[in-house]
Structure 1
Amino acid sequence: MIRIAICDDELLEIDRARSCLEAYMQNHPQYEITINSFSAPLELLTYVAEHGGFDILLLDIYMAGMLGTDVARELRQLGDNSEFIFITTSRDHAIEAFEVEAAQYLVKPYAEEGIFAALDKIIQRIDRERRVIVILKTSEGITRLALRDVVFTETGRNNYQIVHTIQGKKMEVRMTASELFELLSQNKFFVRCGVSLNLNLKYIRQISKNTITFDTGESITYPYRSYQKLKEEFLRFQMFTEE
């Protein structure tokens, strides 16, 4: 199931985007896709806070009350992992779109082929990520875990590894940080930091010289000697996010 949402304060633009998505669905019957639409940013934010997010969001940038880039930033602060496709009349906000990891930035009037190409890229990536599942023996039992849901891991008591997920869950795993990284590294976004941390670059919001802040709002300290290497890895990730 691929859940897609449209947020635009112009009903004609919502109808146009929906028509594009329905045409895409007809051309790709192998995907099960649902479509929701919102005519106001706060309506979308309220829905996500109460019901959870979407896999893909088509966001207009110029909307009454709030820019689409600000909506995306709010969603990231909620821990939302949606793929954003920005649709706008101007290129002025491309840098802001980059800062919230936008998958695509389309300028109106956009061609149907532009939407299709963006959806192909995103859905294929989601499909690949969802297939990478590991089985972990945790302190509470056996757990199936999608690697894309792991934000970071850290060494805890008695050398257990604590796995932090995007859903806000924590689980203890009895293995070394290196052994856990061997599993996590099936997803190319994971890097080691020092001897006790495994980080998903996709969820890092900010890096300072002794603190890492994640999209979930969590922060951790890390060895200062790892700063330069981590900064280089993070900048490389920001520049080349294609799989």
Structure 2
Amino acid sequence: MIRIGIVEDDPAASALLVEHLRRYEREHDEPFDITLFRDGAEVVAGYRPVFDILLLDVEMPELDGFSAAERIRQVDRDVVIVFITNMTQYAIKGYEVDALSYVLKPVPYFAFSQEIRRSVARLRRRSVDYLLLTVDGGLVRVATDDIVFLESAKHRTTVHTVDGKYSVVGPLKALEAELEGKTFFRSNSGYVVNLRHVLGVQGSSALLVGGHDLLISRPRKKAFLAALTDYLGARPS
């Protein structure tokens, strides 16, 4: 089921979006789990990356859609964002937060359905892989996309995810081998970083989702930047 958040302060406009989504469900046999928010401040408060698609109104009284999107992007690089606006000039600004597109108000069903189709197609292109971790004698399945970085700690490895962290027995290189070919790169002898969660590079540090600031060793910096550039260039548009 696809999880969609609607962030709209106008009850009538919000109801119309829900109506369009329910119609799309019937026509395409695509179930949606819909959550409503009345303002950008409401969706940002305690935000966790649980949504697949966010429909964001641009003009809201407390926190506008662009400001909300900027904050959301700090913790969620993957949610598909579609802006709902009555002004075409806002479309260009949407690219600053990697918005998929925008829909003009009043929202006609045909244009809306095309954007939902594009959003769903982007989601379908993503493949979900999991890593099985042995934690406290049990098994924990973690989506590799949710792993922010791995940290070596003596004879253990700490797996930092968007939801928390897990400590497992074994060297960092063992988990690194399991993640080979995915979006992971070793920044130094003690860390393996998921490139999808890198917000930027400043000097010799990689800035990650969640406020993590990890050292990039001098011998690895050139290769790390090349890997990050390749990853960003390969992301679906």
TM-score, normalised to structure 2, is 0.82
- Partner of residue 173, structure 2: 178
Q: Alpha-carbon deviations, 1:100-137, whole Å to 9, x = none?
A: 443x12241561343232232243146x32xx222122
2:63 aligned with 1:70, yes or no? no
- Partner of residue 163, structure 1: 159
Distance 1:236-1:90 versus aligned 2 partners, 3 A rule: farther
Is contact 2:188–2:215 with CA below 8 Å preserved after alignment?
Answer: no
Aligned residues: 232
Q: Alpha-carbon deviations, 1:30-88, whole Å to 9, x = none?
A: x4421122232222233xx1887423211122323323121022234456863322233
Q: Percent identity?
A: 23
Is contact 1:87–1:105 with CA below 8 Å preserved after alignment?
Answer: no
Distance 2:73 2:116 in 1: 25
Aligned residue identity for 1:178:
K
Is contact 2:82–2:103 with CA below 8 Å preserved after alignment?
Answer: no
Match 2:227 to one of 219, 224, 233: 233
Distance 2:148 2:28 in 1: 31
**Per the alignment, in what secondary structure is the counterpart of residue 142 of structure 1?**
strand
- Partner of residue 44, structure 1: 43
Aligned residue identity for 2:7:
C
**Per the alignment, in what secondary structure is the counterpart of residue 220 of structure 2?**
helix
Distance 1:8-1:208 versus aligned 2 partners, 3 A rule: same
Is contact 2:70–2:97 with CA below 8 Å preserved after alignment?
Answer: yes
Distance 2:136 2:216 in 1: 25
Residue 152 of structure 1: how far off its partner (Å): 0.7
Distance 1:210-1:241 versus aligned 2 partners, 3 A rule: same
Aligned residue identity for 1:176:
P
Residue 150 of structure 1: how far off its partner (Å): 0.5
Distance 1:52 1:231 in 2: 26
Aligned residue identity for 1:201:
L
- Partner of residue 2, structure 1: 2
Residue 242 of structure 1: how far off its partner (Å): 1.8
Distance 2:172 2:78 in 1: 25
Is contact 1:94–1:105 with CA below 8 Å preserved after alignment?
Answer: no
Distance 2:15 2:165 in 1: 41
Is contact 2:80–2:119 with CA below 8 Å preserved after alignment?
Answer: no
Distance 2:95 2:175 in 1: 30
- Partner of residue 200, structure 1: 194
Q: Alpha-carbon deviations, 1:114-168, whole Å to 9, x = none?
A: 3232232243146x32xx222122356322111121011121123x22110001x
Is contact 1:152–1:164 with CA below 8 Å preserved after alignment?
Answer: yes
TM-score, normalised to structure 1, is 0.80
Distance 2:231 2:58 in 1: 25
Aligned residue identity for 1:112:
F
Aligned residue identity for 2:104:
K
Q: Which runs of 5+ in 2 are unaligned?
A: none
Is contact 1:4–1:54 with CA below 8 Å preserved after alignment?
Answer: yes
Match 1:191 to one of 171, 185, 194: 185
- Partner of residue 16, structure 2: 16
